[in-house]
Amino acid sequence: MSWLKRIGLAAVVLLLMGGLAAYAFQAQIGMWLFERGVAQRIGVENIAALDDGLHVGLCGTGSPMPNLDSAGPCNVVIAGEQVFIVDIGEGGGETLNVMGISPGEADGLFLTHFHSDHIDGLGPLMLFHWTRSSGTVPLAVYGPSGVEAIVAGFNTAYATDKGYRIAHHGPEVVPPSGAGGTARPFEMAGQATVVLRRGALTVTAFAVNHDPITPSVGYRFDYKGRSACFSGDTKKSADLERACKDVDLLVHEALQPRMVEKLAIASDKGGQTGAAKIFRDIKDYHTTPEQAAESAQTAGARMLVLSHLVPPMPSRYLHAVFLGDARSRFDGPIVVGEDGMLFSLPSGSKEIDRSRLM
């Protein structure tokens, strides 16, 4: 037998022995892997490691269309020691936890409007806010008029669960006063209204056009010379372009109508006429990637991040067709958002640093 054959045979034997050992010690190896994962994740708090400035995390870039890689619309804003969430789609609270950003640290939630996909993660978020920090104060939920009914509905739906958890874990761990949420409604005075001033942070709501869904707003966050805007759901909006003038980071929803029409055609062929109509209906109250790029250019934004992506992007290979010719309409960088992305805007700087928390 040649030495090459002997080496090959020895490699095969070693592989077989390794496989048998892995099978024989599967439980021990599995527990070691589990303990390693626990050590790497439990207790991780990425907020404390951030420098002073404005930080924007994407805790949900998806839409109501199924996509296991993306939670529903969710953004987290960290301004110094303050933490706010903008919209909370399904899975957003879970994604925050995976990102190492505890919902227990949240100072409040801002809702852009009351479509189900922007609020259906509110129950878990309120629960995590309470239980992760043994909170004594409910989650503050800011939104335009009507937010009172949304928060009251979730509080009612979770009332029985609240009782279970207090009975099981005790009031020291889950203080009864900290459960649920408290509505913080605001009225729009004109096209833009300051809705919160706290320390160096200013939050401004601005009206957007998502008819027939009203009220609908976007938000601008300003902190120590840095700024970020969130479009909410909207058609191409001159109000947004004015409110987000010279913003550092514009996080804008995006729907690619050519791709959505393909879904409508397929639904027609499959006899799903209702779904086909919905696909065609949604094209008239969202913004295309090209239009979002135009708005970013008009506003003078320094970076455009596309989120709340319709249709879902299961592969980065699809980004080119999704963007169309958006890059030719904006002088700055365009990022197709993915869950876990973090954009850091240090105070006293012009930089926008990108990283990932998952």
* Phi and psi angles of residue 213, each rounded to the nearest 5 degrees, phi first: -90, 110
pLDDT at site 40: 72
Q: Do 153 and 31 share a structural domain?
A: no
**327 domain residue, yes or no:** yes
**How confident is the model over 214-241, as a mean pLDDT?**
97
- Burial environment of residue 139 by CB neighbours within 10 A (0 to 12, 13 to 18, 19 or more): buried
54, 228 Cβ separation under 8 angstroms? yes
**238 domain residue, yes or no:** yes
Q: Do 262 and 287 share a structural domain?
A: yes
Q: Do 272 and 185 share a structural domain?
A: yes
Q: Do 289 and 150 share a structural domain?
A: yes
> At 171, which amino acid appears?
P
DSSP 107: -
Q: Do 11 and 94 share a structural domain?
A: no
User: What is the total count of domains within the chain?
Assistant: 2
Q: Do 167 and 33 share a structural domain?
A: no
Can you point out the beta strands (E) in 231-327? 249-255, 303-310
Task: Give the domain extent around 282.
Answer: 53-356
**45 domain residue, yes or no:** no
Q: Do 101 and 31 share a structural domain?
A: no
The whole-angstrom separation of Cα 354 and Cα 174 is 36
pLDDT at site 49: 87
Helix (H/G/I), strand (E/B), else coil: 49: helix
**260 domain residue, yes or no:** yes
Range of lowest pLDDT (15-24, 281-290, 294-303)? 15-24
Alpha helix locations (H) across 70-121? 92-98, 116-119
DSSP 104: G
Q: Do 60 and 21 share a structural domain?
A: no
Q: Do 78 and 20 share a structural domain?
A: no
CATH, residue 78: 3.60.15.10
Helix 147-157 × helix 122-131 angle, to 10°:
70
pTM: 0.91
Question: Confidence class of residue 44 from pLDDT cuts 50, 70 and 90?
Answer: confident
Spatial neighbors of 333 by CB under 8 A, at least 6 apart, are: 303, 304
Q: Do 114 and 13 share a structural domain?
A: no
**How confident is the model over 192-216, as a mean pLDDT?**
97
Q: Do 269 and 138 share a structural domain?
A: yes
171, 187 Cβ separation under 8 angstroms? no
Q: Do 87 and 221 share a structural domain?
A: yes
- pLDDT digits over 72-95, tens only? 999 999 999 999 999 999 999 999
Half-sphere exposure of 315 (CA within 13 A, CB side): 3
**279 domain residue, yes or no:** yes
Spatial neighbors of 111 by CB under 8 A, at least 6 apart, are: 87, 88, 118, 119, 141, 142, 143, 144, 147, 150
**48 domain residue, yes or no:** no
Query: Mean pLDDT over all residues of the chain?
Result: 93
Mapped to the 3 state alphabet, what secondary structure does 315-328 carry? CHHHHHHHHCCHHH
- Burial environment of residue 14 by CB neighbours within 10 A (0 to 12, 13 to 18, 19 or more): exposed
